[in-house]
Amino acid sequence: MASASRSSDIWVADSFEVRVEEIPASGNMRRKFTFSPIWCFLLSIPGILLLFAHPLPSLGYVADFTGFLVGAKLIGTPQIYDIATNLTLQKAFTEVNDPTIIFMRQPFWAYAMKPFLNLTYSHAFLLWRVIVGFTLIACVWVSGSDRRFYLLALSWSVPAMGCIVMGNDSSLILLFTLISLACWRNDRHFLAGVALGLCLCKFHFLIFLPLLLFRKQYRQELKGFLLSAAVLVAINFAVQPGWISLYWGALNIPQKNMSGHPTLMPNFYAAFFWTEHPEIAVVLGGLFVLSIIWYICNRLPFDLAMPLCIFSALLTAPHTNALDWILAMPAILAVHSWFPQIKPMALFLLSPVAALFCFWGPRTIGPAIVVAASLLFLGVTCRLIRSEMIEIS
């Protein structure tokens, strides 16, 4: 048990596990912040105004939503991931095509987008943008006690703005992640796993989750996750014959058709793209991050370790775009709520400055700066965990 000087009820299950059962009013762990909600709201207004001031064209360019609609049109056919067929349908929808935006999601996602085919392209795109906007609002709502910080961070988030402009689905993955965290904090552990399983649309960001979910105290979360995953995979088999071989072929299309801007995402692939062999950096960096996240999963509870698993996967997974950086938000804010000492790094990683480095900074150098800051963030987090463990024990 914790020392008498602590107001929280902390128990140690073994030498590698710590769980905080009550959130103290003060103390080192899970501190409450006094930053006024009014100030958060006022500071968020300029960011929101800039977001709505951004033009939202529907025709004349290919967006991520265009790729989703192409997938919906081709669902059930062998051409669902065919590059030439994708480009032909892109031109039918938008009068132009973009070889860097090919439908790459699993069939269940294409099937979910089929209702939008009943509308004209411009109306469907507008409706989808409205859905994405409400999804971001829902993210703020379900974030619980951190609501004010999510409002502030999302209102100034370049990736959040990009999700609306491009019709990207990262905002939905963020919402499912936050719902999972909210369920877990309310002792609905099975539902937490179910919500997390809905993130399978971007499975490459879940690569480190087995380190957490296969721990014996998270059996309910694992069962919920497997149920969601099984349902989605079953839908794949139902709507797309031979989808496994087709999807495997899609995962091996040329990199230029997966991402037209591989140097924009702050990950190992972009940071070492200049070497002409970034895959080596991905492997070595992935192993390094694996060692860190293994330590974290053995030390921290689900509501902190899970978002850090996704954060680590963002650094490791090569097939990503810069808009996916919105998924780093739960980890950064969760660590910030536990360890106030990490505030300067949290502010940098959540600020538009980090996005400016990636979008408009020197190619590969900008992402490399953000990757270095992210690794420092993980390293400092581990050090703070160790110091808390020493103090607790």
Predicted confidence at residue 291, as pLDDT, reads 93
**Crossing angle of helices 302-316/329-338, nearest 10°?**
140
pLDDT band at 248 (very low <50, low <70, confident <90, very high): very high
Q: Annotate 196-215 with b (16+ C-beta within 10 A) or e (fewer).
A: bbbbbbbeebbbbbebbbeb
pLDDT band at 238 (very low <50, low <70, confident <90, very high): very high
Average pLDDT, the chain: 82
pLDDT at 392 over 60: no
Over residues 34-58, the mean pLDDT reads 59
Predicted confidence at residue 277, as pLDDT, reads 85
- Cα→Cα distances 30→10, 146, 186, 334, Å: 12, 11, 16, 9
Could you tell me the two tokens for 155? 């209102």
Q: At which residue do the structure tokens 């300067």 appear?
A: 344
In 3D space, the residue among 250, 257, 254, 235 whose CA is nearest the CA of residue 76 turns out to be 235
Contact 140, 151 (CB under 8 A): yes
**Residue 234: other Cβ atoms inside 10 A:** 11
Over residues 198-209, the mean pLDDT reads 91
| Candidate from 13-17, 76-80, 203-207, 343-347 with smallest mean pLDDT | 13-17
Domain extents in the chain: 56-392
Predicted confidence at residue 360, as pLDDT, reads 63
Q: Which residue has the higher pLDDT, 218 or 343?
A: 218
| Candidate from 7-11, 292-296, 380-384 with smallest mean pLDDT | 7-11
pLDDT at 292 over 70: yes
Query: Distance (Å, rounded) from C-alpha 46 to C-alpha 132?
Result: 20
pLDDT band at 252 (very low <50, low <70, confident <90, very high): confident
Residue 17 DSSP SS3: strand
Predicted confidence at residue 57, as pLDDT, reads 57
Over residues 363-369, the mean pLDDT reads 79
Gyration radius of the chain's alpha carbons: 21
| Candidate from 23-27, 38-42, 357-361 with smallest mean pLDDT | 23-27
Q: Specify the length of the chain in residues.
A: 393
Over residues 13-30, the mean pLDDT reads 38
Predicted confidence at residue 306, as pLDDT, reads 95
Contact 168, 197 (CB under 8 A): no
For the ranges 136-140, 191-195, 247-251, the maximum mean pLDDT occurs at 191-195
pLDDT at 336 over 80: yes
The pTM score is: 0.85
Integer distance in angstroms from the first to the last C-alpha of the chain? Answer: 8
Q: Which residue has the higher pLDDT, 36 or 263?
A: 263
Predicted confidence at residue 27, as pLDDT, reads 37
